[in-house]
Structure 1
């Protein structure tokens, strides 16, 4: 499993995969995208910084092509923003591979961060950690809604792409990472 390691919570994803017995490697440069991988994780962090680094390191086109060609992809928080076709309150292009519109920092600044539990797909009582999180405002016909918190869509799947507005890697619950691993094995 490849984990984008330019900025953000990539170490926490590595630890979660290790707990599940899944080998992973860090993606730090374009040549790392050419290594064999069953899937890729785009972690939470600062989306603008991540996208700038993807462009500066000439990785944007390659990663976008990998996703469009079916590589299972899991974006958390900032990773959701990178995947979104549009970001409602932000005027910049990201990867745009997922047919969703999201609102950046939908819950406010750092002080608006919170923890809760909810349902993810069919699994109940899953812990969610929201840190300056986005939420989905619109989605296309091929997008499946997996979680809603306080009437806001916070987890979606479209074909080979999974995106969460929250940080499952900051909990001890492995169910969402296991869901992604199952996606990779299909």
Structure 2
């Protein structure tokens, strides 16, 4: 699978930025709004945005059940920020009635880093994402970001915050064919995370 087709859920959020990053990372990117479009992709990105809004739209567009089934069948999925919340099996500080797609054995705290005004950037070292001590650090952009409060035994921690009051908090994880980050690599210009996801899709192809 030299150029996998990877969809970007295009109901709300920073869709175009993910499309561009995926293409720069060696994939063919397409927008997914309907179950028939979901069935045509080798992998899927759940973009940043508003997790509760995307949840409602998934149900309105009859995508929630097909997406859950696709994940259960092994579809590789990457979620950034709101996408991390959507992939989590458990969510803290969600709005009343908020649902997740699930699949990742993690507990995620919504808006853990604070409000929009509390957005920040930080350099991360994440060797599994080709950003080790000998590589240029990964510039991570956090915007009303979640963090992983608790990760199950089968979840690989890819990156944690290294400074400040949130030092040690988990902000990137992988479990099987699923991957998630609390930050927004699609707006940083660094495609290493998207390249890692493209590689993950190829490995599961």
TM-score, normalising length: structure 1 = 0.96
> What residue is the counterpart of 2:157 in the other structure?
145
Q: How does 1:1-186 map to 2 (within 5 A)?
A: 1-35=6-40, 37-90=41-94, 91=96, 92-122=98-128, 123-124=131-132, 125-149=137-161, 150-186=167-203
Distance 2:182 2:83 in 1: 8
* Structure-2 separation of matches of 1:117 and 1:138: 22
Normalising by structure 2, we get a TM-score of 0.87
In 2, Cα distance between the equivalents of 1:163 and 1:21? 19
Deviation readout 1:100-154 (Å, 9 max, x if unpaired): 0011001110011001111124423011000000000001111000000021100
RMSD of aligned alpha carbons:
1.0
Give unmatched runs, 5+ long, in structure 2: 1-5, 162-166
Post-superposition, which runs of at least 4 consecutive aligned residues in structure 1 deviate over 3 A? none
Distance 1:22 1:31 in 2: 20
Query: Can you give the 5+ residue segments of structure 1 that lack an aligned partner in the other structure?
Result: none
- The number of aligned residues is 185
Given that residues 26 and 195 in structure 2 are in contact (C-alpha distance below 8 angstroms), is that contact kept between their aligned partners in structure 1?
no
